[in-house]
């Protein structure tokens, strides 16, 4: 299991973060955990707009990374990321 997986789960809980925005964050910060720890001002580089960015930053402050990940584990959720060998190849081709 990747140590970044709990942060990937947390980011997936934010409605405004889809594959494109998530990709932008990974390109800029390297890991989902680095993005989670980044300052609010570091997110301005993405130009996500005056309505979207505040929503994202506010939701990030309300999500407990560890609790979200534990909830998935307790419910028996299988978590796959695109770098996982079990991740369906066709899903990698869509955004």
pLDDT 10s digits, 20-66: 999 999 999 999 999 999 999 999 999 998 999 999 999 999 999 99
pLDDT of residue 22: 94
Q: Taking the alpha carbons of 69, 75, 79, 85 in that order, is the dihedral positive or negative?
A: positive
Phi, psi of 27 (to 5 degrees): -65, -35
Segment 72-77 shows an average pLDDT of 94
- pTM: predicted TM-score of the whole model, two decimal places: 0.86
DSSP classification of residue 79: P
Q: Could you count the other beta carbons within 10 Å of the beta carbon of residue 25? A: 22
pLDDT for residue 86 is more than 60: yes
pLDDT of residue 1: 52
Segment 8-31 shows an average pLDDT of 95
At a CB cut-off of 8 Å and minimum separation 6, what does 83 contact? 2
């Amino acid at each position: 299991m990747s140590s970044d997986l709990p942060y990937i789960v947390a980011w997936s809980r934010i409605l405004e973060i889809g594959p494109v925005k998530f990709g932008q964050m990974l390109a800029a910060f390297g890991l989902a955990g680095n993005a989670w720890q980044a300052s609010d001002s570091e997110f301005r580089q993405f130009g996500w707009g005056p309505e979207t960015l505040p929503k994202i930053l506010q939701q990030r402050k309300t999500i407990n990374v560890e609790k979200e990940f534990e909830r998935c584990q307790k419910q028996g959720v299988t978590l796959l990321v695109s770098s996982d060998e079990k991740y369906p190849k066709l899903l990698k081709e869509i955004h």
